[in-house]
Protein backbone atom coordinates (compact mmCIF):
# COMPACT_ATOMS: atom_id res chain seq x y z
CA UNK A 1 0.00 0.00 0.00
CA UNK A 2 2.88 2.31 0.84
CA UNK A 3 4.39 1.69 -2.59
CA UNK A 4 1.01 2.35 -4.20
CA UNK A 5 0.61 5.77 -2.55
CA UNK A 6 4.23 6.61 -3.30
CA UNK A 7 3.72 5.79 -6.97
CA UNK A 8 0.43 7.71 -6.97
CA UNK A 9 2.10 10.73 -5.43
CA UNK A 10 4.89 10.66 -8.01
CA UNK A 11 2.36 10.35 -10.82
CA UNK A 12 0.34 13.30 -9.55
CA UNK A 13 3.47 15.36 -8.87
CA UNK A 14 5.00 14.80 -12.29
CA UNK A 15 1.61 15.25 -13.93
CA UNK A 16 1.25 18.68 -12.31
CA UNK A 17 4.82 19.57 -13.26
CA UNK A 18 4.15 18.50 -16.86
CA UNK A 19 1.00 20.66 -17.02
CA UNK A 20 2.87 23.64 -15.58
CA UNK A 21 5.75 23.15 -18.02
CA UNK A 22 3.31 22.99 -20.93
CA UNK A 23 1.60 26.16 -19.72
CA UNK A 24 4.95 27.95 -19.39
CA UNK A 25 5.97 26.78 -22.87
CA UNK A 26 2.64 27.95 -24.33
CA UNK A 27 3.04 31.29 -22.53
CA UNK A 28 6.50 31.66 -24.06
CA UNK A 29 5.26 30.85 -27.57
CA UNK A 30 2.28 33.23 -27.41
CA UNK A 31 4.17 36.16 -25.85
CA UNK A 32 7.07 35.71 -28.27
CA UNK A 33 4.65 35.63 -31.19
CA UNK A 34 2.97 38.80 -29.89
CA UNK A 35 6.35 40.50 -29.69
CA UNK A 36 7.30 39.48 -33.23
CA UNK A 37 3.96 40.50 -34.75
CA UNK A 38 2.87 43.45 -32.59
CA UNK A 39 6.10 44.61 -30.93
CA UNK A 40 4.41 44.02 -27.56
CA UNK A 41 4.15 41.06 -25.18
CA UNK A 42 0.38 41.54 -25.13
CA UNK A 43 -2.12 42.00 -27.95
CA UNK A 44 -2.81 45.71 -27.63
CA UNK A 45 -2.84 48.16 -24.70
CA UNK A 46 -4.59 47.71 -21.35
CA UNK A 47 -8.31 46.89 -21.52
CA UNK A 48 -10.87 47.72 -18.83
CA UNK A 49 -14.34 46.32 -18.13
CA UNK A 50 -17.30 48.13 -19.66
CA UNK A 51 -20.93 47.20 -18.85
CA UNK A 52 -22.10 47.87 -22.40
CA UNK A 53 -19.31 46.63 -24.64
CA UNK A 54 -17.63 44.04 -22.34
CA UNK A 55 -14.29 45.87 -22.45
CA UNK A 56 -12.75 49.10 -23.74
CA UNK A 57 -9.20 50.41 -24.00
CA UNK A 58 -7.72 51.53 -20.71
CA UNK A 59 -6.33 54.71 -22.29
CA UNK A 60 -9.78 55.85 -23.41
CA UNK A 61 -10.97 57.19 -26.75
CA UNK A 62 -8.04 57.60 -29.12
CA UNK A 63 -7.48 61.25 -30.13
CA UNK A 64 -8.12 62.47 -33.66
CA UNK A 65 -5.99 65.16 -35.28
CA UNK A 66 -7.13 67.82 -37.75
CA UNK A 67 -10.71 68.08 -36.46
CA UNK A 68 -12.54 71.29 -37.28
CA UNK A 69 -15.00 73.60 -35.54
CA UNK A 70 -17.03 76.59 -36.67
CA UNK A 71 -17.70 78.90 -33.73
CA UNK A 72 -21.34 79.99 -33.36
CA UNK A 73 -22.35 78.13 -36.53
CA UNK A 74 -23.45 74.63 -35.53
CA UNK A 75 -25.20 74.20 -38.87
CA UNK A 76 -21.75 74.12 -40.49
CA UNK A 77 -20.37 71.42 -38.19
CA UNK A 78 -20.32 67.81 -39.40
CA UNK A 79 -19.66 65.01 -36.95
CA UNK A 80 -18.42 61.54 -37.88
CA UNK A 81 -18.09 58.61 -35.50
CA UNK A 82 -15.65 55.87 -36.53
CA UNK A 83 -15.89 52.33 -35.12
CA UNK A 84 -13.67 49.33 -35.74
CA UNK A 85 -10.86 47.27 -34.27
CA UNK A 86 -7.16 47.98 -33.94
CA UNK A 87 -6.83 48.87 -37.63
CA UNK A 88 -9.22 51.77 -37.04
CA UNK A 89 -7.78 52.78 -33.68
CA UNK A 90 -4.14 52.49 -34.89
CA UNK A 91 -2.87 53.00 -31.34
CA UNK A 92 0.53 51.54 -32.27
CA UNK A 93 1.11 54.60 -34.46
CA UNK A 94 0.94 58.31 -33.59
CA UNK A 95 -2.75 59.27 -33.53
CA UNK A 96 -2.10 61.78 -36.32
CA UNK A 97 -1.66 58.79 -38.66
CA UNK A 98 -4.96 57.05 -37.90
CA UNK A 99 -7.63 56.74 -40.58
CA UNK A 100 -9.98 59.27 -38.88
CA UNK A 101 -7.14 61.79 -38.54
CA UNK A 102 -6.20 61.42 -42.20
CA UNK A 103 -9.81 61.79 -43.30
CA UNK A 104 -10.33 64.82 -41.05
CA UNK A 105 -7.28 66.47 -42.60
CA UNK A 106 -8.56 66.03 -46.16
CA UNK A 107 -12.18 66.87 -45.37
CA UNK A 108 -11.30 70.07 -43.52
CA UNK A 109 -8.88 71.12 -46.25
CA UNK A 110 -11.41 70.73 -49.05
CA UNK A 111 -14.89 70.79 -47.51
CA UNK A 112 -15.39 74.49 -46.79
CA UNK A 113 -17.54 76.05 -45.43
CA UNK A 114 -18.20 72.92 -43.37
CA UNK A 115 -15.97 71.80 -40.50
CA UNK A 116 -15.57 68.07 -39.87
CA UNK A 117 -15.21 66.74 -36.33
CA UNK A 118 -14.12 63.07 -36.37
CA UNK A 119 -14.15 60.74 -33.37
CA UNK A 120 -12.07 57.56 -33.31
CA UNK A 121 -14.04 54.95 -31.32
CA UNK A 122 -11.90 52.08 -32.60
CA UNK A 123 -11.10 49.47 -29.94
CA UNK A 124 -8.46 46.77 -30.31
CA UNK A 125 -10.00 43.33 -31.06
CA UNK A 126 -13.54 44.64 -31.58
CA UNK A 127 -15.71 43.03 -34.25
CA UNK A 128 -19.29 43.68 -35.39
CA UNK A 129 -20.85 42.16 -32.26
CA UNK A 130 -18.99 44.39 -29.80
CA UNK A 131 -19.09 47.47 -32.03
CA UNK A 132 -22.89 47.44 -32.14
CA UNK A 133 -22.95 47.37 -28.33
CA UNK A 134 -20.41 50.19 -28.21
CA UNK A 135 -22.52 52.20 -30.65
CA UNK A 136 -25.48 51.81 -28.30
CA UNK A 137 -23.37 53.03 -25.39
CA UNK A 138 -22.20 56.13 -27.23
CA UNK A 139 -25.68 56.99 -28.53
CA UNK A 140 -26.91 56.85 -24.94
CA UNK A 141 -23.98 58.58 -23.23
CA UNK A 142 -21.83 60.61 -25.61
CA UNK A 143 -22.85 64.28 -25.71
CA UNK A 144 -21.80 65.10 -29.29
CA UNK A 145 -24.18 63.46 -31.78
CA UNK A 146 -23.05 62.15 -35.16
CA UNK A 147 -24.43 62.85 -38.59
CA UNK A 148 -22.49 59.91 -40.00
CA UNK A 149 -21.46 56.63 -38.32
CA UNK A 150 -18.73 54.55 -39.96
CA UNK A 151 -17.94 50.89 -39.23
CA UNK A 152 -14.69 49.44 -40.59
CA UNK A 153 -14.70 45.65 -40.33
CA UNK A 154 -13.72 42.32 -41.81
CA UNK A 155 -10.53 41.03 -40.21
CA UNK A 156 -11.72 40.44 -36.65
CA UNK A 157 -15.04 38.92 -37.68
CA UNK A 158 -13.27 36.51 -40.04
CA UNK A 159 -10.53 35.70 -37.54
CA UNK A 160 -12.72 35.07 -34.48
CA UNK A 161 -15.18 32.90 -36.34
CA UNK A 162 -12.37 30.84 -37.87
CA UNK A 163 -10.90 30.26 -34.39
CA UNK A 164 -14.07 29.83 -32.31
CA UNK A 165 -16.50 28.37 -34.88
CA UNK A 166 -19.54 30.06 -33.35
CA UNK A 167 -21.90 32.78 -34.64
CA UNK A 168 -21.24 34.72 -31.43
CA UNK A 169 -17.46 34.74 -31.77
CA UNK A 170 -15.63 37.71 -30.26
CA UNK A 171 -12.50 38.45 -28.26
CA UNK A 172 -12.59 36.86 -24.79
CA UNK A 173 -15.89 35.04 -25.36
CA UNK A 174 -14.93 31.71 -23.80
CA UNK A 175 -13.19 33.28 -20.82
CA UNK A 176 -16.22 35.36 -19.92
CA UNK A 177 -18.68 32.58 -20.71
CA UNK A 178 -16.64 30.10 -18.67
CA UNK A 179 -16.58 32.30 -15.58
CA UNK A 180 -20.33 32.96 -15.76
CA UNK A 181 -21.69 29.54 -16.74
CA UNK A 182 -19.41 26.80 -15.56
CA UNK A 183 -19.87 27.36 -11.83
CA UNK A 184 -23.05 25.32 -12.25
CA UNK A 185 -22.32 23.67 -15.58
CA UNK A 186 -19.43 21.44 -14.51
CA UNK A 187 -18.55 19.64 -11.28
CA UNK A 188 -15.20 21.39 -10.93
CA UNK A 189 -16.91 24.74 -11.53
CA UNK A 190 -17.25 25.12 -7.78
CA UNK A 191 -13.49 25.76 -7.81
CA UNK A 192 -13.92 29.14 -9.49
CA UNK A 193 -10.24 30.16 -9.62
CA UNK A 194 -9.26 26.81 -11.14
CA UNK A 195 -12.06 27.02 -13.68
CA UNK A 196 -11.16 30.60 -14.61
CA UNK A 197 -7.53 29.50 -15.02
CA UNK A 198 -8.60 26.74 -17.41
CA UNK A 199 -10.43 29.15 -19.73
CA UNK A 200 -7.61 31.70 -19.50
CA UNK A 201 -4.93 29.05 -20.10
CA UNK A 202 -2.15 29.85 -22.55
CA UNK A 203 -2.06 26.18 -23.50
CA UNK A 204 -5.73 26.29 -24.48
CA UNK A 205 -5.22 29.53 -26.41
CA UNK A 206 -2.19 28.14 -28.23
CA UNK A 207 -4.05 24.93 -29.13
CA UNK A 208 -6.95 26.94 -30.58
CA UNK A 209 -4.59 29.03 -32.68
CA UNK A 210 -2.73 25.96 -33.94
CA UNK A 211 -6.00 24.30 -34.92
CA UNK A 212 -7.01 27.50 -36.68
CA UNK A 213 -3.83 27.53 -38.74
CA UNK A 214 -3.99 23.81 -39.50
CA UNK A 215 -7.68 23.19 -40.15
CA UNK A 216 -9.69 24.81 -42.97
CA UNK A 217 -13.09 26.41 -42.37
CA UNK A 218 -15.95 24.56 -44.05
CA UNK A 219 -17.60 27.11 -46.40
CA UNK A 220 -20.86 25.12 -46.27
CA UNK A 221 -21.09 24.70 -42.49
CA UNK A 222 -24.36 25.73 -40.79
CA UNK A 223 -22.29 27.63 -38.19
CA UNK A 224 -20.80 29.87 -40.88
CA UNK A 225 -24.22 30.44 -42.46
CA UNK A 226 -25.68 31.49 -39.12
CA UNK A 227 -22.66 33.67 -38.35
CA UNK A 228 -23.06 35.54 -41.64
CA UNK A 229 -26.82 35.89 -41.16
CA UNK A 230 -26.44 37.34 -37.66
CA UNK A 231 -23.60 39.64 -38.68
CA UNK A 232 -25.70 41.14 -41.49
CA UNK A 233 -28.59 41.57 -39.06
CA UNK A 234 -26.27 43.46 -36.70
CA UNK A 235 -25.36 45.88 -39.46
CA UNK A 236 -29.01 46.27 -40.49
CA UNK A 237 -29.78 47.08 -36.86
CA UNK A 238 -26.95 49.63 -36.68
CA UNK A 239 -28.28 51.26 -39.85
CA UNK A 240 -31.79 51.56 -38.38
CA UNK A 241 -30.55 52.84 -35.01
CA UNK A 242 -28.44 55.50 -36.69
CA UNK A 243 -31.39 56.57 -38.81
CA UNK A 244 -33.53 56.87 -35.68
CA UNK A 245 -30.98 59.37 -34.35
CA UNK A 246 -30.86 61.29 -37.63
CA UNK A 247 -27.52 59.87 -38.76
CA UNK A 248 -26.43 57.93 -41.82
CA UNK A 249 -24.54 54.64 -41.54
CA UNK A 250 -21.65 53.30 -43.64
CA UNK A 251 -19.94 49.93 -43.42
CA UNK A 252 -16.54 49.57 -45.08
CA UNK A 253 -15.28 46.02 -45.62
CA UNK A 254 -11.58 46.44 -45.01
CA UNK A 255 -8.75 45.35 -47.30
CA UNK A 256 -6.55 42.50 -46.04
CA UNK A 257 -3.41 41.00 -47.47
CA UNK A 258 -4.98 37.54 -47.15
CA UNK A 259 -8.03 38.27 -49.31
CA UNK A 260 -6.75 40.64 -51.98
CA UNK A 261 -7.11 39.65 -55.62
CA UNK A 262 -4.78 42.16 -57.23
CA UNK A 263 -3.73 41.73 -60.87
CA UNK A 264 -0.44 43.32 -61.92
CA UNK A 265 1.11 43.87 -58.49
CA UNK A 266 4.09 46.19 -58.06
CA UNK A 267 6.90 43.61 -58.02
CA UNK A 268 9.08 45.45 -55.51
CA UNK A 269 6.19 46.04 -53.11
CA UNK A 270 5.01 42.42 -53.41
CA UNK A 271 8.51 41.12 -52.70
CA UNK A 272 8.86 43.38 -49.66
CA UNK A 273 5.52 42.26 -48.20
CA UNK A 274 6.35 38.61 -48.81
CA UNK A 275 9.45 39.04 -46.66
CA UNK A 276 7.58 40.96 -43.96
CA UNK A 277 4.33 39.04 -43.58
CA UNK A 278 4.56 35.94 -41.40
CA UNK A 279 2.94 32.56 -41.96
CA UNK A 280 2.49 32.69 -45.74
CA UNK A 281 4.03 29.24 -46.22
CA UNK A 282 4.09 27.89 -42.67
CA UNK A 283 0.32 28.27 -42.16
CA UNK A 284 -1.33 27.83 -45.57
CA UNK A 285 -4.87 27.67 -44.16
CA UNK A 286 -4.65 31.21 -42.73
CA UNK A 287 -5.30 32.70 -46.15
CA UNK A 288 -8.01 30.12 -46.94
CA UNK A 289 -9.81 30.69 -43.63
CA UNK A 290 -9.75 34.46 -43.98
CA UNK A 291 -10.93 34.14 -47.57
CA UNK A 292 -13.79 31.76 -46.74
CA UNK A 293 -15.36 33.88 -43.99
CA UNK A 294 -14.59 37.21 -45.65
CA UNK A 295 -16.06 36.12 -48.99
CA UNK A 296 -19.23 34.86 -47.29
CA UNK A 297 -19.73 38.24 -45.58
CA UNK A 298 -18.91 40.10 -48.79
CA UNK A 299 -21.54 38.16 -50.73
CA UNK A 300 -24.24 38.58 -48.07
CA UNK A 301 -23.66 42.32 -47.75
CA UNK A 302 -23.57 43.08 -51.46
CA UNK A 303 -26.45 45.36 -52.38
CA UNK A 304 -26.94 46.82 -48.90
CA UNK A 305 -27.27 50.61 -49.24
CA UNK A 306 -24.77 51.22 -46.45
CA UNK A 307 -22.11 48.76 -47.70
CA UNK A 308 -18.82 49.80 -49.35
CA UNK A 309 -16.44 47.04 -50.41
CA UNK A 310 -12.75 47.97 -50.02
CA UNK A 311 -11.41 44.47 -50.58
CA UNK A 312 -9.01 45.54 -53.34
CA UNK A 313 -8.72 49.21 -52.40
CA UNK A 314 -4.96 48.95 -51.86
CA UNK A 315 -4.21 47.21 -55.17
CA UNK A 316 -1.74 49.18 -57.24
CA UNK A 317 0.06 50.51 -54.15
CA UNK A 318 3.60 51.81 -54.56
CA UNK A 319 4.70 51.09 -50.99
CA UNK A 320 4.08 48.21 -48.54
CA UNK A 321 0.63 48.59 -46.96
CA UNK A 322 0.65 45.78 -44.37
CA UNK A 323 2.64 44.89 -41.29
CA UNK A 324 3.76 41.38 -40.25
CA UNK A 325 0.27 39.91 -39.69
CA UNK A 326 -1.14 40.94 -43.08
CA UNK A 327 -3.98 42.82 -41.35
CA UNK A 328 -2.58 45.94 -39.70
CA UNK A 329 -1.38 48.74 -41.91
CA UNK A 330 1.65 50.89 -42.47
CA UNK A 331 1.28 54.66 -42.74
CA UNK A 332 1.07 54.26 -46.51
CA UNK A 333 -1.65 51.64 -46.10
CA UNK A 334 -3.79 53.87 -43.89
CA UNK A 335 -3.37 56.75 -46.33
CA UNK A 336 -4.63 54.51 -49.14
CA UNK A 337 -7.60 53.35 -47.06
CA UNK A 338 -8.55 56.91 -46.11
CA UNK A 339 -8.43 57.92 -49.77
CA UNK A 340 -10.65 54.97 -50.68
CA UNK A 341 -13.20 55.88 -47.99
CA UNK A 342 -13.39 59.53 -48.92
CA UNK A 343 -15.82 59.37 -51.90
CA UNK A 344 -18.47 57.39 -49.97
CA UNK A 345 -18.20 59.74 -46.99
CA UNK A 346 -18.57 62.79 -49.21
CA UNK A 347 -21.54 61.21 -51.00
CA UNK A 348 -23.21 60.55 -47.65
CA UNK A 349 -22.97 64.20 -46.66
CA UNK A 350 -24.05 65.44 -50.08
CA UNK A 351 -27.27 63.43 -49.65
CA UNK A 352 -28.02 65.10 -46.31
CA UNK A 353 -30.17 68.21 -45.88
CA UNK A 354 -28.30 71.47 -46.27
CA UNK A 355 -28.94 72.44 -42.65
CA UNK A 356 -28.17 70.16 -39.71
CA UNK A 357 -28.05 70.53 -35.98
CA UNK A 358 -24.29 70.20 -35.78
CA UNK A 359 -24.37 67.00 -33.75
CA UNK A 360 -26.39 68.21 -30.80
Which pLDDT tens digit goes with each residue over 82-105?
A: 999 999 999 889 999 999 999 999
Q: What percent of the chain is modeled with pLDDT above 70?
A: 85
- CATH number of the 49-169+217-350 domain: 3.40.50.1110
**Is residue 114 scored above 50 in pLDDT?**
yes
- The ranges assigned to domains in the chain are 1-42, 49-169+217-350
Under the banding of pLDDT at 50, 70 and 90, the label for residue 356 is very low
- DSSP reduced 3-state for 66: coil
pLDDT band at residue 72, thresholds of 50, 70 and 90? low
Res 357 pLDDT > 70: no
- 26-32: Cβ within 8 A, 24+ apart: 26/201, 26/202, 26/203, 26/205, 26/206, 27/202, 29/202, 29/206, 30/202, 30/205, 30/206, 30/209
Give the residue among 278, 275, 273 at the shortest CA–CA distance from 260. 273
On average, the pLDDT of the chain sits at 86
- The stretch 253-277 carries a mean pLDDT of 88
Classify 320 as helix, strand or coil.
coil
pLDDT digits (tens, 9 = 90+) for 167-219: 999 998 888 877 777 666 666 566 667 777 777 777 777 777 777 666 788 99
Q: Is the pLDDT of residue 126 over 90?
A: yes
pLDDT at 257 over 80: yes
By C-alpha distance, which of 56, 75, 70, 46 is closest to 120? 56
Q: What is the mean pLDDT of residues 154-172?
A: 92
Read off the pTM: 0.86
Position 330 pLDDT exceeds 80: yes
- Contacting residues for 116 by C-beta, under 8 A, at least 6 apart: 67, 68, 78, 79, 80, 103, 104, 107, 108
- Taking 80 as the threshold, does the pLDDT of residue 13 lie above it? no
Q: Higher model confidence: residue 349 or residue 25?
A: 349
Residue 11: its pLDDT value, please? 76
Least Cα distance to 154 among 209, 58, 96, 86 occurs for: 86
Amino acid sequence: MKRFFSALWKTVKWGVIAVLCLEVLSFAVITTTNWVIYGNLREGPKAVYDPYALFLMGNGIWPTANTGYVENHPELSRVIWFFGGSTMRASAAPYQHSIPSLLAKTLNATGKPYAYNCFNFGVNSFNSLLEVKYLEKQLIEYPIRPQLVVFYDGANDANYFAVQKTPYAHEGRERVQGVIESYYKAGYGILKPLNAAYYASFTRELLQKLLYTAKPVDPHSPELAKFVDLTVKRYDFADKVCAAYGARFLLFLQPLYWVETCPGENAAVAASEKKTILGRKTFPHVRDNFMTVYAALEKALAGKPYFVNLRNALCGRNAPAYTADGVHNTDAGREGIAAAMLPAIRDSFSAMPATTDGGK
